[in-house]
Structure 1
Amino acid sequence: MPERKPWLPWLILIILALVWGSSFILIKRGLESFSPGEVGALRVVITWLFLLPFAAKKLRGIPLDQWKVLIAVGMVGSLIPAFLFAAAQRGIDSSLAGILNSLTPLFTLIVSIVFFKNRPKWFNVTGVIIGLAGAIGLVSVSGSGNFTVNMGFAILIIIAAICYAVNVNIVKAYLQGVDPVAITALSFFTVGPMAAIYLFGFTPFASGIESNPESWKGLGYIAILAIAGTGLALMLFNRLIQMSSAVFASSVTYFIPVIALIWGIADGEKFRPGFLLWVMLVISGVLLVNTSSLTNNRIVRFIAGVVKFSD
């Protein structure tokens, strides 16, 4: 961490938490004007167009085998989750979507164990179990109160989190030496045209925006989501990793659910009595997954506090 500006990584961390935590309310606003398919496609297309200048500078020197990996990264890290989040938020609150998204580190560990033969410690595995239990509890007390209906939509967020987990492991295993800006820009370069073909060829987006002036407001929300919440935020995140450490940068995961929850409550979404306990269980699980030793007193105190709260 730079000595002259020790506050800068913290500033970037706060900005990322605010931006990513606000993504779910922006999706909700976009869905007021467009279908889930249109929202997902627009998010990818706008990000692709924004990153085109960066991609143009990085096109040379990428071997064929890395292009195959970049296509996979674009699909599981951006394209598929964009559609899944939009579809899920037709049936669950934006705050719940933000909280369930924090399960990504748990699935990252599972994917690394199953496919990349990593060996976690027992408390990391315990963290996965606690986090998943918290997620199931959240779904059971949220939304309409109908667990089956809620789970039908929540499972889409969980699949998106699994996609993100696969993406992290692919990047770590196969793109370790590639410039992070190149990974972001070129992965969108591979999937952007697919989203554009779907948007203009298989949805009524063009005719709808022409006939409904109000839809421009929804387009504005999605543009903010795409440019700030995806393009710029990923660049900031990569910069944060370079300035500090991966552990410090990954701590943004703990703050995103808080911001999403605040936005949801401000937007009139219900805050049920059992909500806080399940949120703390999810965060406890994420903390255990991301720790390398139980000697970290802050983690032990937090989890002990959750257990005491539940009593």
Structure 2
Amino acid sequence: MKTIDRTMGLREWALLLGLSMLWGGSFFFVGVAVEELGPLTIVALRTGLAAVTLNIVILLRGQRMPRDPGLWAAFFGMGLLNNMIPYSLIAWGQGHIASGLASILNATTPLFTLVVAHFLTRDEPLTPGRLLGIAIGFAGVVYMLGSEVQEGTIGGSWAPLAVLAGALSYAFAGVFGRRFHSQGCSPLMAACGQVTASALVLMPLALHVERFWQSPLPGLATWSAMFGLALFSTALAYLIYFRLLASAGATNLLLVTLLIPVSAIVLGVFVLGERLEWRHLAGMGLIGLGLVSIDGRPWRWLQRVAYALWKARREGASR
């Protein structure tokens, strides 16, 4: 397996920023769709429409999906970890908490990924600096949820825990998905395979459990949100996802969830009329500080500054 370079270049950071915008928009789209559709129906339509889109793209390019049973088993495993479990949990959670708060809780994904990657990979170790980042990041989550519990706004709701469980599933998916690059599977094939596998499971499940055809027909806003969710926040997003996963690694890739709350909060507040309290932003700030600490660059910068000051002082004394 190819060794991952943990230091990202300008191209990787640009792709990461683009991915954050696409996934940040997903919280907005789900926030609209959840008003008229159930969580299973949302994720089934999301993966189904994305699968149709990506399969059409592959056909137009004159390519064919692989038929290797082992590779399709991996697609189903990736679909379970990266689509079925987190999509369902987060969509259900968003029916009970604001989309901005859901996106902040989702920002714990890299913290979970650090631990998972340390035990399941050889080139993404858990260093002391990363441990410090985990401690700071989780302090942000505890502070954020602690304030909610004290004020009784969560009560006995499982919604925040459901979103956190979705973040943990994403962490396992980030590590699991590295195998596609080593198997010679392109980002397009990997993206198409996982959403197709997910749709094949979720479509009959949603039809059986939620029976959405018995409910009133959704309005134009809901259908627009679903197409935006499927085409941009899923199909296009996963093309970028698998490309970054191959070059930057699971830990670096899932730093994207730090950037997602920014776009999600803006859309949630200014379009959906949601309100985000300052304590949520403070918690996100702590999570952000933790993720920056994980990267290690602030500590290296402080070391260089300290060394430069020490060197200048020593040279001044010698004169």
Q: Which moves more between the two structures, 22-31 or 268-277?
A: 268-277
**2:189 match:** 182
The answer on whether the counterparts of 1:139 and 1:151 sit within 8 Å (CA) in structure 2 is no
The answer on whether the counterparts of 1:105 and 1:290 sit within 8 Å (CA) in structure 2 is no
Q: CA deviation at 1:29?
A: 0.5
Q: CA deviation at 1:156?
A: 0.9
Aligned CA distance change for structure 1 residues 69 and 14 (closer, same or farther; 3 Å): closer
**2:49 match:** 46
TM-score normalised by the chain length of structure 1:
0.80
The code of the aligned residue for 1:274 comes to: R
The answer on whether the counterparts of 2:292 and 2:298 sit within 8 Å (CA) in structure 1 is no
Please give the alpha-carbon distance, in whole angstroms, between the structure 2 residues aligned to 1:16 and 1:120: 25
Aligned CA distance change for structure 1 residues 22 and 32 (closer, same or farther; 3 Å): same
SS of the equivalent of 1:231 reads: helix
Q: Which moves more between the two structures, 98-107 or 49-58?
A: 49-58
Q: Does 1:18 align with 2:21?
A: yes
Q: Does 1:261 align with 2:265?
A: yes
Aligned CA distance change for structure 1 residues 189 and 241 (closer, same or farther; 3 Å): closer
The answer on whether the counterparts of 1:44 and 1:188 sit within 8 Å (CA) in structure 2 is yes
**1:199 match:** 206
Please give the alpha-carbon distance, in whole angstroms, between the structure 1 residues aligned to 2:112 and 2:155: 23
Q: CA deviation at 1:275?
A: 2.6
Larger radius of gyration: 2
Please give the alpha-carbon distance, in whole angstroms, between the structure 2 residues aligned to 1:280 and 1:286: 10
**1:31 match:** 34
Q: CA deviation at 1:265?
A: 2.4
Aligned CA distance change for structure 1 residues 157 and 286 (closer, same or farther; 3 Å): same
The code of the aligned residue for 1:122 comes to: P
Aligned CA distance change for structure 1 residues 115 and 16 (closer, same or farther; 3 Å): closer
Matches within 5 A, 1:83-162: 83-116=88-121, 119-142=125-148, 145-146=151-152, 149=155, 152-162=158-168
Q: CA deviation at 1:137?
A: 1.6
Please give the alpha-carbon distance, in whole angstroms, between the structure 2 residues aligned to 1:194 and 1:106: 29
Aligned CA distance change for structure 1 residues 10 and 114 (closer, same or farther; 3 Å): closer
The answer on whether the counterparts of 1:140 and 1:147 sit within 8 Å (CA) in structure 2 is no
Q: Which moves more between the two structures, 274-283 or 149-158?
A: 149-158
Q: CA deviation at 1:109?
A: 1.0
**2:317 match:** none
Q: Does 1:229 align with 2:233?
A: yes
Q: CA deviation at 1:8?
A: 7.5
Any stretches of 5+ residues in structure 1 without a counterpart? Answer: 1-5, 301-311
The answer on whether the counterparts of 1:84 and 1:156 sit within 8 Å (CA) in structure 2 is yes
The answer on whether the counterparts of 2:43 and 2:88 sit within 8 Å (CA) in structure 1 is yes
The code of the aligned residue for 2:78 comes to: V
Q: Deviations over 1:61-94 (max 9, x none)?
A: x533332222110110111111111100111110
Q: How many residues align?
A: 289
SS of the equivalent of 1:32 reads: coil
The answer on whether the counterparts of 2:174 and 2:245 sit within 8 Å (CA) in structure 1 is no
Matches within 5 A, 1:207-246: 207-208=214-215, 211-212=216-217, 214-239=218-243
SS of the equivalent of 2:198 reads: helix
Please give the alpha-carbon distance, in whole angstroms, between the structure 2 residues aligned to 1:94 and 1:144: 21
Please give the alpha-carbon distance, in whole angstroms, between the structure 2 residues aligned to 1:216 and 1:157: 27
The code of the aligned residue for 1:192 comes to: A
Aligned CA distance change for structure 1 residues 7 and 274 (closer, same or farther; 3 Å): closer
Q: Deviations over 1:280-304 (max 9, x none)?
A: 1011112223337830459x9xxxx
Please give the alpha-carbon distance, in whole angstroms, between the structure 2 residues aligned to 1:169 and 1:83: 20
Please give the alpha-carbon distance, in whole angstroms, between the structure 1 residues aligned to 2:80 and 2:210: 20
Any stretches of 5+ residues in structure 2 without a counterpart? Answer: 1-8, 306-319
The answer on whether the counterparts of 1:124 and 1:288 sit within 8 Å (CA) in structure 2 is yes
Please give the alpha-carbon distance, in whole angstroms, between the structure 2 residues aligned to 1:113 and 1:202: 38
SS of the equivalent of 1:224 reads: helix
Q: CA deviation at 1:135?
A: 1.2
Q: CA RMSD in A?
A: 3.1
Aligned CA distance change for structure 1 residues 145 and 268 (closer, same or farther; 3 Å): farther
Q: Deviations over 1:141-175 (max 9, x none)?
A: 35993265376211111111111110111122564
**1:170 match:** 176
Aligned CA distance change for structure 1 residues 286 and 195 (closer, same or farther; 3 Å): same
